[in-house]
Chains A and B, each alone.
Chain A
Amino acid sequence: MTNNYLLFRVAERLLGVKLQGAIEILPWRRSRPVPLAYSYIEGIMEYRGAIYPVFHLAQVLGLSRTGPIGFTAYAPGGDELRKGQSIILLEESGKPFGITVDSVVKMARFEDPQDPPADSKGIDMKLVKGIQFDDDQEITLLSFERLFHAG
């Protein structure tokens, strides 16, 4: 089946997620940090009456450590580094959540991948659905079904 995917960049990598249900793209904003949260959680934010957990996608995927997040991230000037980044609000199995990405690239239509790739090139395999190509650029398509299963 062919579907719409939203393409975005994280740590120099081109990634995509299938569009299903409502989606919002917001300029990066500071989330409310929660003490003792998982290390890849930026915090929580409210948007239109719902509370979203905000995941630092690079850290979730194991792509890079861009420095401390959560409570320790807000040293003076720390927010400056995040300017230009975006938060994508998505939903998975009825649970709203946000991911932070370096930039949103575009929408594209792809065949849904059949099989996960043999090599996800450093990205945590549990979130990788498959690989597609667009203008010779390799795009790793993600699925967030297992995002809420910590570990």
Chain B
Amino acid sequence: MDDKTRFLIVSLEGESFAIPITSLLEITVPRNIQKDQKLSEIFEGKFDYRGKLIPVVNLKKVLKLPGNPGSGLIVVKSSKGVLGLLVDTAKELLETSQKPLPMPRGVLNPSLNYYAGILRNREDLVVLLNEDGLLP
């Protein structure tokens, strides 16, 4: 029985975050990002994804991390539609039978919906992002 799930591990400011492969559409680099002043500051602009303009999210701004927006771009599908997410690097694929562990209580405000749990990857704890909860 194969009950393994696959995740893409990305890096932001030296820490690992994961996105389920089932939500991943493409791994690319940010180029020809069209600035759009009407968008809020968590967006870097818009990007032509297969003939359609999709919003590009500055994930570090969403998570209030320092640093430049990142030189990797992953395209994901979410309940808010197709999104581009800027990351520092797409690091590796993790294939695992682990079920994500819940974020312990007391760490952050429970009304924040950005995370879907925690995965182990060797010595590393990886925070699983909730692609449906990243946008307000």
Contact = CB atoms under 8 A, between A and B. Distances in A.
Interface in B88-134: 101, 103-109, 112, 114-115, 118, 120, 124-125, 127
- Which of A32, A95, A147 has the largest count of B CB atoms less than 10 A from its CB? A32
A78 B125 CA distance: 21
A38 B107 contact: yes
B48 interface: no
B125 A32 contact: yes
A97 B106 contact: yes
B104 A44 contact: yes
Contacts of A72: 66
Nearest to A34: B107
B107 A53 contact: yes
B65 interface: yes
A37 B104 CA distance: 11
Interface string B62-100: 011110000000000000000000000000000000000
A76 interface: no
Nearest to A149: B106
Contacts of B118: 44, 51
A74 B67 CA distance: 14
A52 B13 CA distance: 22
A72 B63 CA distance: 13
Contacts, number: 66
B15 interface: yes
Interface string B1-20: 00000000000111100000
Interface in B19-68: 63-66
B19 to A, nearest CB: 15
Nearest to A96: B104
Interface in A24-43: 32-38, 41
Contact of B105 (A32, A45, A71, A95): A95
Nearest to A35: B63
Interface of A: 32-38, 41, 44-46, 51-53, 55, 71-72, 74, 95-97, 147-148, 150
List the 5 shortest-distance A-B pairs measured between CB atoms, nearest first: A35-B63, A148-B106, A53-B104, A32-B125, A37-B108
Interface of B: 12-15, 63-66, 101, 103-109, 112, 114-115, 118, 120, 124-125, 127
14 contacts: A32-B125, A34-B108, A34-B127, A36-B109, A36-B114, A38-B106, A41-B108, A44-B104, A44-B107, A51-B101, A53-B106, A72-B66, A97-B104, A150-B109
